[in-house]
Amino acid sequence: MPARIRDYHPGDEKDAYYVCLRTGDHGKDGAEIYRDDPEALGRIYVGPYLKYSPELSLILEDDEGVCGYALSALDSREFFDKYDREWRPKLCEQYPAPTGDSSTWTPLEKTYYLYHNPSLYCPEPYAEYPSHLHIDFLPRVRGQGWGRRMIEELKTRLRKMNSPGVHLGMSERNDPAYGFYCALGFKELIRHDGAIYFGMKLN
């Protein structure tokens, strides 16, 4: 069966976290890097969206299972505030922050550091791009147009919710993603702390 886009359903968490893991090394497979805690990245980049923004959480599924997702938040500052107040404290209780020389930290330790010191950056002008989104896909469904379709669906939903614009961030080291977002019509807004932020107006 071909892949299909559907809404998030409770119970998708494990599979969506897996997609996050397998794309967790700047778009490449992060399974080896995060072998000691495969859900470490998903707790930041997937779980909060499924809980706090389920109406803007799309799942891509084929006959092998979940193979991608597109996640969004209508009001980024409101979303990050809820993440900071409700979601993050539980992570900090369970996963201690790393200590010592940060130059020696593993990727997993750096992720735990983010639990305690989150990067909740929103590019300006915020009033023009208050929503944000991010997507990840397993290699088997890349290059087939699913990213464009899922982003278009999220844009449609955000417009209906009266969002004037959406932004996204990507790693400076993820060269294929840069070209992809430019081709979709996103424009670069700013580079900040190792990330490139793009924006697109919706009205």
What SS3 class is residue 75?
coil
With DSSP H G I counted as helix, E B as strand and the rest as coil, what are the percentages for the chain, rounded to 5?
Answer: 40, 25, 35
Phi, psi of 18 (to 5 degrees): -65, -40
Is the pLDDT at 203 greater than 90? The verdict is no
Is the pLDDT at 123 greater than 90? The verdict is yes
How many residues does this entry show for the chain?
Answer: 203
Kindly indicate the confidence band of residue 189, based on its pLDDT and cuts at 50, 70 and 90: very high
Q: What is the pLDDT of residue 146?
A: 95
| Torsion of the alpha carbons at 171, 173, 176 and 180, rounded to the nearest 10 | 30
Per domain, the residue ranges of the chain are 4-117+127-201
Kindly indicate the confidence band of residue 141, based on its pLDDT and cuts at 50, 70 and 90: very high
Kindly indicate the confidence band of residue 125, based on its pLDDT and cuts at 50, 70 and 90: very high
Q: pTM of the full predicted structure? A: 0.94
| Torsion of the alpha carbons at 131, 82, 60 and 9, rounded to the nearest 10 | -130
Q: What is the pLDDT of residue 1?
A: 67
- pLDDT tens column, 25-61: 988 999 999 999 999 999 999 999 999 999 999 999 9
Q: Give the right CATH number for 4-117+127-201 from 3.40.50.10800, 1.25.40.340, 3.40.630.30, 3.40.50.10540.
A: 3.40.630.30
**What average pLDDT does the segment 18-23 reach?**
97
Q: Distance between CA atoms of 146 and 124, rounded to whole angstroms?
A: 28
> What ranges make up the beta strands (E) of the chain?
4-7, 57-62, 65-73, 131-137, 165-171, 187-192, 195-201
Is the pLDDT at 77 greater than 70? The verdict is yes
Residues of the chain above pLDDT 70, percent: 100
Q: What is the pLDDT of residue 54?
A: 98
